[in-house]
A and B are shown apart, each in its own frame.
Chain A
Amino acid sequence: MGGFLLRRAAALIPVLIVVAIVTFLLIHIMPGDAAAVMLGPEATPAQVEALRESLGLNQPLYAQFFTWVGSALQGDLGQSFFIGLPVSTVIHAALAPTINLAIFAEFIAILIGVPAGIVAARKQGTGTDRSVMVGALLGISVPSFLLGLFLMLIFSVLLGWLPVAGYSPLEDGIFETLKYLLLPGIALGSMQAALIARMTRTSMLETLSKPYLKTAKAKGLSGSRIIYKHALRNASMPILTTIGQTLGTLVAGAAVVETVFNVPGIGQLIINSIERRDIVVIQGVILVIAVSYVLINFLVDVLYSVLDPRVRLS
């Protein structure tokens, strides 16, 4: 078990190095002089030079990289030139609504996707199965921000049931938060639900034909026990992989959906930073999300070994 974890952890290092390089290079793919671009045409040469100095752009590339990685490892993601605050502080402030939205959406997605996939697999080839699959196809075909707009149009503008936009922090009560997160959560969770339903169906179909389920039936176990204990446990690994793999996408998706509903999270931060060309903030955001994505997948791997003894012991 220890060796397994160590091997998996070691495999993360090259990925994290590439993530660091790509993030670092962003500032260098800006056309022309990064400092000049960031400051805009009205900046004086002295201002540009000052910014170059503060960004460390005058050093050789490799030295810049190591300085940058060194501070990033200490949690220092640089200073936002425009806001005048450390990037880590800015991100930290914007993170809570985004994470809450992502978790809520994942929750909705699992709640819908897994049972729908199971039902479709059990009733393979029937009308129920086809409806689930058509629903899943629709879910995959409507981008979350678009679904968000449609939902807003129907439930907030037309029916007036839910607030159009905004956010209420958890501290002011979870129900208030959920009221604001309901539509964005559904919008974001639907594609996720569709992916989970598809994967659950495929995986369950594969598992349902396994001989050990016949054994379970021959033992005299009830249908639901066969499905939920014996089949689902075996089918859970590809489902978990899908959930793990898409969790990163979900955080990014949350950033996009947020902008539809004016939730003050990472998405708003990104939009404002794009307008200001505040590339240091953007670097910080994508670094944080990519690293969390890598770590989440690592955790999914660990979870695998708990769920499937064959992985752990091989």
Chain B
Amino acid sequence: MSNNLLEVIDLRTSFDTERGNVTAVDGVSFSVAPGEVVGVVGESGCGKSVTAESILQLLDPSSTSYSGQILFGGDNLLRLSEDALRKVRGYRISMIFQDPMSALNPVFTIGDQLTEAILAHKRIGKRRARAFAIELLAKTGIPEPESRMRQYPHQLSGGQRQRVMIAMALSCDPELLIADEPTTALDVTTQAQILKLLIELKDEFDAGILFITHDLGVVAEICDRVVVMYLGEVVEYTDVHTLFDNPAHPYTRGLMASTPGIDADPEDDLPIIPGAVPTLHHIPQGCRFAERCALVLPECRQQTIELEVLSDDHASRCIRSAELATGASLSNGGVR
């Protein structure tokens, strides 16, 4: 239908829990064009990881149900059989996870896990797969890739483990790479290195990237377009420049205000968004963000708020988004 690589339309992912059914992702739509990096941003619990894992349907099948469409290469991934889906996973769409320590199997060697990923999709011999794995490791900048092949995950540093994960994800030259907070579990210098590596490899492999993060600093560095999520819904999407210049949702503004700039005075208190993300069991009526919003109006709690399209590639789920997009400084006149 379009030249998009991935098109998620009205995705709904819900879980059966002991306390009833909860919808973790509620009507999310976005798209990723080939070679494009799309960021999905939000606090923990906003549904961004669930969105990512829904694409490959990695969640526990016995308690998860999906609806909507995930269009990829002409197929709706949600309609594919398990077998067909397996041929997409790791081959056409691959994934990098947050904590490389727990994402690698502790009892198998790096080499074992890497070649396994290659052999799962390519009809080549073990020896060639191994040589290819070493080549991939070298590409990710791991020193002495050959001896790393014989090591176990716990013998590597955090940064090296994430490089292994990246090598594994790129092993079949995927069209789309989903990176779920790939730098969160790493220390700051390693974070920068991994990010740099991803940017380099992105150009070499020419893959689209869906980048899940809570860190707007990372978004500014790597993403072309951004989807902001709150409590299972998309609250704003736009290109990265518009997002930073004219954020049109109070939540986006809050996220930005609570991200320290490089020139910030450490003595200053960072503004924070008051309160915490409500649980999925208690989704508020009306605007889901109203409880924590500095600009809340009485109407916010009375109606379901729809995404309001502001321009070609900019929409916000706020009744005051038009005012906000102008960049004006607003208040709610003391209403709370």
Residues of A at the B interface (CB closer than 8 Å) are 123-125, 210-212, 214-223, 230, 233-234, 307-310, 313
Determine whether the beta carbon of A219 is less than 8 Å from that of B116.
Answer: yes
Specify which chain B residues have a CB less than 8 angstroms from the CB of A223 in the assembled complex.
Answer: 82
B256, CB-defined interface residue at 8 Å? no
**Chain A residues with CB under 8 A of B95:** 215, 218
- Tell whether, in the assembled complex, residue A214 and residue B58 are in contact, meaning their CB atoms are under 8 Å apart: yes
- How many A-B Cβ pairs are below 8 Å? 79
Partner of B107, one of A123, A220, A222, A307: A307
Closest to B104 in A: A212
- Determine if B13 is an interface residue (Cβ-Cβ < 8 Å): no
Decide yes or no: A216 and B105 within 8 Å by CB, A309-B152, A310-B152 being known contacts: yes
Report the bound CA distance from A233 to B104 in whole Å.
14
* Residues of chain B contacted by A218 (CB below 8 angstroms): 56, 58, 89-90, 94-95, 97
> In the complex the two chains form, what is the Cα distance from A186 to B103 in whole Å?
41
Taking the complex as formed, is B154 at the interface, i.e. its CB lies under 8 A from any CB of chain A? yes
For the complex, what is the distance from the CA of A307 to the CA of B53, rounded to whole Å? 31
In the bound complex, residues from chain A placing their C-beta under 8 Å from that of B156 are none
Name A234's contact: one of B56, B82, B106 (CB within 8 Å). B106
B99 in the interface (beta carbon within 8 A): yes
Question: Are A233 and B120 in contact (CB-based, < 8 A)?
Answer: no
From B88, B90, B155, residue with most partner A Cβ within 10 Å: B90
Q: Does B117 contact A (CB under 8 A)?
A: yes
How long is the Cα–Cα vector from A230 to B102 in the complex, in angstroms?
13
Nearest Cβ distance between residue B17 and chain A, in whole angstroms? 12
Are B102 and A211 touching (Cβ within 8 A)?
Answer: yes
Please tell me if B87 contacts chain A, counting CB pairs below 8 Å. Answer: yes
Contact partners of A219 in chain B: CB under 8 A: 89-90, 94, 116-117, 120, 168
Note all chain A residues with C-beta closer than 8 A to B292.
none
Task: Across the interface, name the chain A residue whose C-beta is closest to B112.
Answer: A229
> Given contacts A218-B90, A220-B86, A220-B88, could you give 10 more A-B pairs where the C-beta distance is less than 8 Å?
A210-B102, A215-B103, A218-B89, A219-B94, A220-B87, A220-B91, A308-B107, A310-B106, A310-B152, A310-B154
Choose from B90, B106, B152, B155 the contact partner of A220 (Cβ within 8 Å).
B90
How distant is B124 from chain A, measured CB to nearest CB, in Å? 15
Complex contacts, B202 vs chain A, CB 8 Å = none
Minimum CB distance partner of A126 in chain B: B62
> Which B residues lie within 8 Å of A310 (CB)?
106-107, 152, 154
Check B301 for interface membership: any CB of A closer than 8 A: no
Q: Which residues of B contact A313 (CB under 8 A)?
A: 152, 154-155
Q: Which 8 A-B pairs have the closest CB atoms?
A: A220-B90, A220-B89, A219-B90, A218-B95, A211-B102, A212-B105, A309-B152, A219-B117
**Which chain B residue has the least Cβ–Cβ distance from A213?**
B105
Give complex CA distance A313, B152 in Å. 10
Min CB distance A314 to B, Å, is: 9
**Closest chain B CB from A239 CB (angstroms):** 14
**Across the two chains, which residue of chain B brings its CB closest to A223?**
B82
Q: Which residues of B contact A220 (CB under 8 A)?
A: 86-91, 117, 120-121
The answer to whether residues A212 and B53 also contact, given A218-B58, A220-B86 and a CB cut-off of 8 A, is: no
Contacts A220-B89, A309-B152, A310-B154 given; indicate if A211 touches B116 (C-beta within 8 A). no
CA distance A220 to B62 in the complex (A): 19
A214 contacts which chain B residues (CB < 8 A)?
Answer: 53, 58, 97, 103
Residues of B within 8 A of A308 (CB): 106-107
Contacts of A309 in B (CB 8 A): 106-107, 152, 154
A contact residues around B107 at 8 Å (CB):
233-234, 307-310
| B117 and A230 contact, CB distance less than 8 A | no
Cβ contacts under 8 Å, A125 to chain B: 62
With a cutoff of 8 Å between Cβ atoms, the chain A residues found around residue B62 in the complex are 123-125
Chain B residues with Cβ below 8 Å from A230 are: 105, 108
- Cβ distance A207 to chain B, nearest Cβ, rounded Å: 10
Complex Cα distance A223/B82, Å? 9
**How far, in Å, is B164 (CB) from chain A's closest CB?**
11
CB-based nearest B residue for A219: B90
Residues of A within 8 A of B97 (CB): 211, 214-215, 218
Q: In the bound complex, how far is the Cα of B198 from the Cα of A56, in angstroms?
A: 80
Return chain A residues, CB-CB under 8 Å to B108.
230, 233
User: Distance in Å from the Cβ of B100 to the closest Cβ of chain A?
Assistant: 9
Contact with B103, one of A124, A212, A222, A233 (Cβ below 8 angstroms): A212
A308→B53 CA distance, assembly (Å): 29
Distance in angstroms between the alpha carbons of A212 and B94 in the assembled complex: 14
Q: List 12 A-B contacts (CB under 8 A).
A: A216-B105, A217-B56, A217-B89, A218-B58, A218-B95, A219-B117, A220-B86, A220-B87, A230-B105, A233-B107, A313-B152, A313-B155
